[in-house]
Amino acid sequence: MSKCEQCIVRQFNSLKSLTHQEIHRISNCKVSRIVKRGESIFEEGETINGVFCVKDGICKLSKLSANGKDQIVKLVAKGELLGQRSLIGEESANLSAIALSDMEVCFIPKSEIIGDLQKNTNFSMDLLKEMAQDLKESDNVIVDMAQKSVKQRLAETLLYMNNHIGITEDGYIKLSLSREDYANLVGTATESAIRILSQFKRDGLISTSGKQIKIEDLNALKRVE
Amino acid sequence: MSKCEQCIVRQFNSLKSLTHQEIHRISNCKVSRIVKRGESIFEEGETINGVFCVKDGICKLSKLSANGKDQIVKLVAKGELLGQRSLIGEESANLSAIALSDMEVCFIPKSEIIGDLQKNTNFSMDLLKEMAQDLKESDNVIVDMAQKSVKQRLAETLLYMNNHIGITEDGYIKLSLSREDYANLVGTATESAIRILSQFKRDGLISTSGKQIKIEDLNALKRVE
DNA sequence: TTAAAAATATGATATTTGTCATGTTTTATT
DNA sequence: AATAAAACATGACAAATATCATATTTTTAA
C-alpha cells in the first residue's frame, strides 16, 4: 500500500502540517478505498468517525431536502479533506458524499488523528483556516442563492467548474455532470437547467459533445443576467 | 470598566476556555463600545483585527449583492462572538455587522488573543467547534434557500426568531425587525415579505402590534408550504 | 445486438415571485 | 402639533420558474 509520506495530495490540505512522525503513524493506519462513480462515501446522518483524504476524483456533498430533491452544497476534488467536522465533537454527517467520478480516498480514523489535533498547533490552525475558508464560501453561496437568478447561478457554476475542476486539452470541463446534477447544484428543476443550457448553446456561450461542456464565450457567461 | 472575569456572557462562547490569567489580560485590553440600533460594527471588506464579544443586543451579518440588495446571512445575539475569522489568517471581513437593537460589544484586539489561540488547546478546540457548527448551519441555509418557497422560508424565519431570540411576557418576538429586514433574511422583495406577513395575519398564523409580531399558531407555521 | 431504462429535450401551462405604481399609516423632526 | 420622511400595504401586471406531458436520444444491461 502506498505511503502518505510520498503522497503529493497531502500538500493540498491541512495534513501537510503533520510532523514526519505523525504522518508515519497515519500512513500505517489509513485505509485506501476505491469508490466508483455514483457510489456513496458516506450518507447524511451517518457517524463517520474519521476523515477522508481525496487522493483522486471528485465528489458532491449534498443534502436531501423536504421536497425530495438533492441540493448539492459543495464539490470536493482531489487534494481536499472530507468529513473534517467529524473530528470536532461527536456530530454525525450533515451532508452525503457521493462520487461524481471514480475516486480513490484514504480514510484516517478519528482515534488516530484526534491526538495530533490537540498537540500539533500547526495542524489545528490549518484546519481552522480551512474551515474559515469553507465558511466564507458557504456564506457567499447563500447570498448567490438568495439574490441571483437561476440563469446567473448556472452560468457561475459553469465558470466555477472551468476554473476549479479544470479543462481537458480540447477545452471541455473535465468533469461531466448530468443535467440533474447541474440542477441540484443550482437549486432548480432539472427541466429548467436543461432549458438554460440549451439556450446557452443556442447563444454560443457554450458548446457540448455528449455530456461534455465547453465554454466558448467566457465573458458573455460572466455577463449573464 | 467592567471586568471579563465577572462577565456571564463569556460563558456562552469560546472565551470560556481561556484560563484565569488569559482572561485577566484580555480584560485589561478589551474596549467596550455602545452601538445604537442601525449603526454598523464593521463593514464588508474592512480589516477588523480582533473579535467582538456581544455583551448585549442583536446584530445582523449581511452582504451586499450585485443587484444592490442586502442579504442577511445570520443573526448574532448576546453571548456570541463576531469576527472570529479575523483571528485566522489575514482576511478582511466578508460580511457587514449592523446592530438591529442597541448593543454593547467588547472588542478584543487580535494581537492580544492570537497567542492564546496557539497555546491554549481548549480555546482553539472550542473555536473549531463553533466554526464547525456555523458551517453546518450555513450549509442548511443553502439547502433552504435553494429548495424552499419564500413563504416557507419566511415561516421558518419567524419560528427561528421565536426560538432563538425569544419572546416577551405577552408572547411577542423580542426583536422587532422591519419588513425589509425580513425580506433580506429570506432573500425576497420587500413587497413579497409584506404580502406574506399580511396573509399569515389574515390566516391567523401570527398577529401584530405595530412592528411586533406574535406567533399565534406555531404548528400551522411549521406546516406552511 | 437489442430491448429497456435513463437522460435529454421541448412545448404548454400553472404558479410563484418581482416590479412598478399608488395610497395609507407610522415614526421622526422641527 | 405640524410636517416630512420612512415604513407599510395592496393592486395590477410582468417575468421567472415549476410542473406536466410527451418525444427523442443516449446509456445500460440482458
pLDDT digit string, tens, across residues B155-166: 999 999 999 999
Count of helices and strands (H, E) across chain B: 7, 10
> Å between B163 CA and C18 C1'?
30
Residue B23 dihedral angles phi and psi, to the nearest 5° = -60, -40
pLDDT in tens, B169-197: 999 999 999 999 999 999 999 999 999 99
A85 CB below 7 A from strand C atoms: no
What's the whole-number average pLDDT of chain A?
95
C-alpha cell read off for B105: 460589544
C-alpha cell read off for B178: 422591519
Positive or negative: CA dihedral A135, A137, A141, A142: positive
Name the E strands within chain A: 31-35, 40-42, 50-56, 58-64, 70-77, 81-82, 96-99, 103-109, 206-209, 212-215
In this prediction, residues B91-110 reach a mean pLDDT of 96
Give the model's pLDDT for residue A123: 96
Residue of B138, B148, B190, B192 to mutate, testing the A interface (most A Cβ within 10 Å of its Cβ) = B138
> Å between A132 CA and D19 C1'?
39
Distances, alpha carbon A178 to alpha carbons A155, A211, B9, in Å = 16, 7, 49
Segments in chain B forming alpha helices (H): 20-29, 110-119, 121-147, 150-164, 179-186, 190-202, 218-223
Residues 6+ apart with CB under 8 A from B85: A132, A135, A136, B91, B93, B94
Nucleotide nearest to B210 (CA to C1'): C26
- Protein residue with the closest CA to the C1' atom of nucleotide C25: B210
pTM of the model: 0.96
Q: Which residue in chain B is spatially nearest to A152 when comparing CA positions?
A: B66
Residues B5, A135: Cα–Cα separation, whole Å: 30
Give the model's pLDDT for residue B95: 97
Give the model's pLDDT for residue A117: 94
Would the pLDDT of A1 be above 80?
Answer: no
Give the model's pLDDT for residue B179: 97
- AA letter at B92: S
Residues B105, B13: Cα–Cα separation, whole Å: 14
Measured from the Cβ of residue A83, the count of other Cβ atoms closer than 10 Å reads 24
- Protein residue with the closest CA to the C1' atom of nucleotide C17: B192
> Å between B53 CA and D1 C1'?
43
Would the pLDDT of A151 be above 80?
Answer: yes
What's the whole-number average pLDDT of chain B?
95
Give the model's pLDDT for residue A26: 96
In this prediction, residues A97-126 reach a mean pLDDT of 96
Please answer yes or no on whether A132 and B187 come within 8 Å at the CB atom. no
Distances, alpha carbon B25 to alpha carbons B3, B32, B119, B126, in Å = 10, 15, 15, 19
Give the model's pLDDT for residue A217: 97
Residues A33, A54: Cα–Cα separation, whole Å: 10
Give the model's pLDDT for residue B67: 81
Angle at CA of residue B89, ends B83 and B95, nearest 5° = 35
Residues B149, B190: Cα–Cα separation, whole Å: 15
In this prediction, residues A92-96 reach a mean pLDDT of 96
pLDDT in tens, B60-94: 999 998 888 999 999 999 999 999 999 998 889 99
Would the pLDDT of A31 be above 80?
Answer: yes
Q: Please, which pLDDT band fits residue B22 given cuts at 50, 70 and 90?
A: very high
In this prediction, residues A133-154 reach a mean pLDDT of 97
**Nearest-CA neighbor of A110 among A63, A180, A48?**
A48
Give the model's pLDDT for residue B65: 87
Which residues of chain A have a Cβ shorter than 8 Å from any chain B Cβ?
A: 63, 65-67, 69, 71, 73-74, 84-85, 88-89, 91, 94-95, 117-119, 121, 124-125, 127-129, 131-132, 134-136, 138-148, 186-187
Q: Please, which pLDDT band fits residue A150 given cuts at 50, 70 and 90?
A: very high
Closest chain B C-alpha to A47 CA, distance in angstroms: 15
With DSSP H G I counted as helix, E B as strand and the rest as coil, what are the percentages for chain B, rounded to 5?
Answer: 45, 25, 30
Angle between helices B110-119 and B121-147 (to 10 degrees): 100
**Nearest-CA neighbor of A184 among A83, A103, A77, A68?**
A68
Percent of chain B with pLDDT over 90: 94
CB burial of B68-77 (b: ≥16 within 10 Å; e: otherwise) equals ebbbbbbbbb
Would the pLDDT of B1 be above 80?
Answer: no
C-alpha cell read off for A91: 456530530
Would the pLDDT of A220 be above 90?
Answer: yes
Q: Which residue in chain A is spatially nearest to B64 when comparing CA positions?
A: A143
Contacts of A70 in chain B (CB under 8 A): none
Give the model's pLDDT for residue A66: 82
Measured from the Cβ of residue B191, the count of other Cβ atoms closer than 10 Å reads 10
Residues A137, A129: Cα–Cα separation, whole Å: 12
